[in-house]
Structure 1
Amino acid sequence: MVKSVDIEEFLELSRQNPVVDVRSPSEYTYGRIPGAVNLPLFEDDERAEIGTLYKQQGKDLAVKRGLEIVGPKMRPMVEFAEQLTFKDHILVHCWRGGMRSGSVAWLLQTYGLPVVTLKGGYKRFRNHVLDKFAEKMELMVITGPTGSGKTDLIKALAANGQQVVDLEGLAHHKGSVFGELGQEVQPSSEHFQNELFWAIKDFDFSQPVWLEDESIGIGKVMIPEAFWRQMGKSPRVHFNMDRNIRIKRLVSEYASFPEKVLDEKINMLERKLGGQHAKSALGLLRSGDFEGVADLLLVYYDRAYKNALIRHKKDLLLEIEADHEDFAKWAELVIEKTKTQYV
């Protein structure tokens, strides 16, 4: 009989053993346990066909059709599993820990491979993920105007041994209208949340977890509400880089993109910039004055940031006016100035 374990043991075993997700490719793509490999028992169209049979003609015909589909796949599935490197087990799951994972686990175990399945399947994993975000955490939020290098400061804090979360890195988006440029395609909100869980699951929540201030939506993905609420109540470090440095950083980051792309992004901001400012920004762009474009756009972004800063004034723990880009030194200063907050 195949052994089935709870989510906590399953995740512990996953540290040294592969996770095999036997759901369909679209289910896997939409959201998965980070690091899992996909070995679908049914392709998307096959799963739809069996589901329709089950509803219209009953379980028996659906199961028989499933057997017809799976039969030719059995040897390739075993050969796929044989290539996996594992310490103790191959960890198998489906959506609810039912027939799909049970069937694949039986096949692999019959061949002689050690297999463990997940009680409750991926659905149980998702509930575990959402429960984690409701736990009390000592979050420390880095805030600052556009172009200040907040992500670089987060990375410098990580290099200094601090617990950090790069939300924009996980989201594949930098948060602004220009945030998708140069990034991979964004994951679904569900998978973004899975990756966020994976990033924090081993943290000591009695110690600070540093992250950048964000809206609840980063591009098209959504921060889990319970986690975002904690961010909103957490101490903040205001990190403000010299404006001239910020302009140069923004030019370095975005000026290499095609003019047409930048033109589209500026037009998306027309309502917030105002028609005249948007027209001026487009004129500067077409003349190649990228610093002028950045300077003009910062009028809008800085105004929006100041409004957010006022809303969170009571949570402000530290203010830093930065005049250079040695983020390692800024990280050391931030740690030194805030350590009494969490000792």
Structure 2
Amino acid sequence: MAEQLITLESFWTLREKMPLIDARSEGEFTQSHIPGAFNLPILNNQERVLVGTLYKEKGSEQATLKGFELVGPRFHQIQKQAIQSFPDRKVILYCWRGGMRSQILSWLLSMVGFEVLRLKGGYKTYRTFTFEEVRKELSLLVLGGKTGSAKTLLLNKLKEKGEQVVDLEGLANHRGSSFGSIGLPEQPSVEQFENLLAEEIRLLDPKKPLWVENESRKIGRVILPDRFFEQMISSPLIDIQKSDEERIQHIESEYGILPKEDLIKAVKRLQKKLGGLRTQEAIEDIEAGNHASWIRNLLLYYDKTYDFDLHRHDSSKTQTLDLTGQNLDSQIQLLLQAKNQFYGN
């Protein structure tokens, strides 16, 4: 069956109906890809380097011949894998620029009865879109508060109430502290994080405010897009307040169940900032299961860090909101009232 070229505009709808194949090498795919894609490489990492070098040194024809020499013996394996993975034989596929690799894969699959839609411009077209999407103007509303204020829980509840929310830490697979990666999958690359963020922003109503949690420029190894972070700094911020007891209880509910060895490693990463004595005290409390004690110890450091970071925001756009002792429903109502003061009903 003949292939059909599709634009990025058509792709958004069609990908909900058909599986998506990335024909690039496994290394390129790991670095970044269109979310939801399945990797079926035409050239693997080593072969791609070899063909690329040959292209630079001897030109397109020699590189093309070498590519077919390398991948030709595997044609039947690629076809069998596709048939097994996609029994309906309808797929969308792409490579880097919509060039030779996706053309070859399209030809191979068409030969065994696949209906193939190929993304015009390939991943490069998609990536150009996501790069621009995460840097466009947004109406942000930043939720701040010291460690343990249950900001992520509140954002999730706001989303349930119909508010527009993007969970930056969820996309980054990191909770934003030395302890932030414990028990979570590996973080995406910076580029892949931007792809994930763009996918969420694309579906939002630009006329409505978007809630995000107050973050540093880096969430673990992920770096927030420059313009997005600049907008966070200049946007309205609601700084929620809770008692130390409430914060410690919340942190203990999330971190007290984690492996002690992981908690100790996280504390040791902070040793230069905590000092030798406080580090040792925290480790001893973790080993003894005295979670409230080591959490209280570390909050002394994290509270100072938060106070320092809070000064980056425009004080005239910062509203302090005391949620101490309030139940969850009341906290949400107070947050919505605070939002209306910045953005109206």
TM-score, with structure 2 as normaliser: 0.90
Cα separation, 2, equivalents of 1:42 and 1:332: 55
Cα separation, 2, equivalents of 1:3 and 1:60: 26
Cα separation, 1, equivalents of 2:113 and 2:263: 57
- Contact 1:17–1:86 (CA under 8 A) maintained in structure 2: no
- Contact 1:247–1:295 (CA under 8 A) maintained in structure 2: yes
Cα separation, 1, equivalents of 2:259 and 2:91: 47
Cα separation, 1, equivalents of 2:24 and 2:275: 49
Cα separation, 1, equivalents of 2:87 and 2:151: 39
Q: 2:86 maps to what in 1? A: 84
Cα separation, 2, equivalents of 1:81 and 1:329: 52
Structure 1 residues 133-142 or 271-280, which shifts more? Answer: 271-280
Task: Using the TM superposition, give the Cα deviation of residue 244 of structure 1 relative to its aligned residue in structure 2, in angstroms.
Answer: 0.4
Cα separation, 1, equivalents of 2:322 and 2:87: 48
Task: Using the TM superposition, give the Cα deviation of residue 286 of structure 1 relative to its aligned residue in structure 2, in angstroms.
Answer: 4.2
Q: 2:286 maps to what in 1? A: 285
- Contact 1:129–1:194 (CA under 8 A) maintained in structure 2: yes
Deviations along 1:191-223, whole A, 9 cap, x unmatched? Answer: 111111112211101112111111111001111
Cα separation, 2, equivalents of 1:86 and 1:188: 32
Task: Using the TM superposition, give the Cα deviation of residue 287 of structure 1 relative to its aligned residue in structure 2, in angstroms.
Answer: 4.1
Cα separation, 2, equivalents of 1:242 and 1:86: 56
Q: 1:320 maps to what in 2? A: 322
Q: 1:115 maps to what in 2? A: 116
Task: Using the TM superposition, give the Cα deviation of residue 69 of structure 1 relative to its aligned residue in structure 2, in angstroms.
Answer: 2.9
Q: 1:24 maps to what in 2? A: 25
Cα separation, 2, equivalents of 1:113 and 1:281: 60
Secondary structure of 1:322's counterpart equals coil
Q: 2:250 maps to what in 1? A: 249
1:259-338 maps to which residues of 2 (within 5 A)?
259-312=260-313, 313-317=315-319, 319-324=321-326, 326-338=327-339
The letter for the 2-side match of 1:291 is A
Task: Using the TM superposition, give the Cα deviation of residue 85 of structure 1 relative to its aligned residue in structure 2, in angstroms.
Answer: 7.0
Structure 1 residues 217-226 or 118-127, which shifts more? Answer: 118-127
- Contact 1:157–1:328 (CA under 8 A) maintained in structure 2: no
Cα separation, 1, equivalents of 2:203 and 2:191: 20
Cα separation, 1, equivalents of 2:181 and 2:286: 19
Q: 2:234 maps to what in 1? A: 233
The letter for the 2-side match of 1:319 is L
Task: Using the TM superposition, give the Cα deviation of residue 318 of structure 1 relative to its aligned residue in structure 2, in angstroms.
Answer: 5.0
User: Is residue 68 of structure 1 aligned with residue 73 of structure 2?
Assistant: no
Deviations along 1:290-342, whole A, 9 cap, x unmatched? Answer: 21111111111112212223332222145132324x43442233123323514
- Contact 1:152–1:327 (CA under 8 A) maintained in structure 2: no
The letter for the 2-side match of 1:241 is K
Task: Using the TM superposition, give the Cα deviation of residue 18 of structure 1 relative to its aligned residue in structure 2, in angstroms.
Answer: 1.9
Cα separation, 1, equivalents of 2:285 and 2:71: 61
1:159-178 maps to which residues of 2 (within 5 A)?
159-178=160-179
Assess, with a 3 A threshold, how the Cα gap between structure 1 residues 234 and 97 changes in structure 2: closer, same or farther: same
1:78-227 maps to which residues of 2 (within 5 A)?
78-82=79-83, 83-84=85-86, 90-227=91-228
Cα separation, 1, equivalents of 2:23 and 2:151: 39
TM-score, with structure 1 as normaliser: 0.91
Structure 1 residues 224-233 or 253-262, which shifts more? Answer: 253-262
Deviations along 1:89-119, whole A, 9 cap, x unmatched? Answer: 6221101111111221233334443322222
Secondary structure of 1:261's counterpart equals helix
The letter for the 1-side match of 2:54 is L
Task: Using the TM superposition, give the Cα deviation of residue 171 of structure 1 relative to its aligned residue in structure 2, in angstroms.
Answer: 0.8
The letter for the 1-side match of 2:179 is F
- Contact 1:317–1:338 (CA under 8 A) maintained in structure 2: no
Task: Using the TM superposition, give the Cα deviation of residue 123 of structure 1 relative to its aligned residue in structure 2, in angstroms.
Answer: 1.6
Cα separation, 2, equivalents of 1:55 and 1:233: 46
Task: Using the TM superposition, give the Cα deviation of residue 86 of structure 1 relative to its aligned residue in structure 2, in angstroms.
Answer: 7.0
Identity between Structure 1 and Structure 2 (%): 36
Cα separation, 1, equivalents of 2:131 and 2:322: 34
The letter for the 1-side match of 2:94 is H
Q: Which runs of 5+ in 2 are unaligned?
A: none
- Contact 2:52–2:63 (CA under 8 A) maintained in structure 1: yes
**Number of equivalenced pairs:** 341
Secondary structure of 2:35's counterpart equals coil
Secondary structure of 1:230's counterpart equals helix
